[in-house]
Structure 1
């Protein structure tokens, strides 16, 4: 009886080792190996910007200037040589009765803080109704971020009429 139990156990062990998908050492000194796989997920390229900004006030012929709040690019695409470009454009400023052209304003990027691997280049611009490059990221590896707090300055023309002026700063990333 004991021999039958030992034989059955040995046969079960041989069957378990001979199953497809199991690695066996064929000769002494050969170590069996296991192939291990996994997936690194990737996400999107996004830009977050402040919803609104108040620059302050000033008289005709002066400049009104303030940081508008943090702008952040998040690149979760997990690429090996990622690049992206942020552009900015501005509508003309209006108080309902009078306008100040967008070209009377500037956008100064300031310092950029990054995480991950990315090389960032900045360009200060005179704003206009057309999109212009303000920040570029190149050589990105894996996930990375870049954050800056740009300063917008409006040179108020000497002929400006008093009132609350509003314009729309549009920033985008591609």
Structure 2
């Protein structure tokens, strides 16, 4: 009986992009406000399951910024990240995991071309930030255009002890300016 109670408390976390953002290739491209700079992110990620009162930690997948502005100066940009509340159920039966329980760290550059000074927002888990407000994920502080940078951020969700079991969905949004 005790095992059954633990299984009923399991939570599946699924991060999704809104349907209008999902690209046929399974990736989402969000164009930035800065002409010549865009960002590509995973369209949908299943972060797995965890137990109430536990912590779920998973990599989100590759995020890539492509800067095709050439020799325009200054050639800098800032990538940001934020999350919605994670929700399960509908109407009056809806339950949530607050976005202040969702932590993020960018990690280091995993791939880059073209040079420039690239600065991760949170190089290690020790610098993890909660996603209840817009946070800096990565920054290019100097260098020419025509380059790319990729990183694989990690998400950590502190699952509340009193939350109901279910499939929770939320959106983690990256953008670049």
Matched positions, count: 131
Look up the match of 2:56.
64
Residue 168 of structure 2 is aligned to residue 171 of structure 1: no
Look up the match of 1:115.
113
Asked if the contact 1:117–1:139 (Cα under 8 Å) also holds between the matched residues in 2, the reply is no
CA distance in 1, matches of 2:100, 2:80: 15
Report 1 or 2 for greater relative contact order, CA contacts < 8 Å, sequence distance ≥ 6: 2
Structure 2: gaps spanning 5 or more residues: 1-34, 123-128
State which drifts further: 132-141 or 84-93.
Answer: 132-141
CA distance in 2, matches of 1:142, 1:60: 46
CA distance in 1, matches of 2:112, 2:52: 38
CA distance in 1, matches of 2:145, 2:47: 36
How far residue 126 of structure 1 moved from its aligned partner, in angstroms, is: 1.1
TM-score (norm 1): 0.72
Look up the match of 1:98.
95
Query: Over residues 40-99 of structure 1, what are the superposed CA-to-partner deviations in whole Å (9 max), with x where a residue is unaligned?
Result: xxx710100000111110111111111111000000001243100001110000102210
CA distance in 2, matches of 1:72, 1:159: 37
CA distance in 2, matches of 1:88, 1:118: 21
Residue 143 of structure 2 is aligned to residue 143 of structure 1: no
How far residue 110 of structure 1 moved from its aligned partner, in angstroms, is: 1.2
CA distance in 2, matches of 1:173, 1:104: 24
Structure 1: gaps spanning 5 or more residues: 1-42
Higher strand share: 2
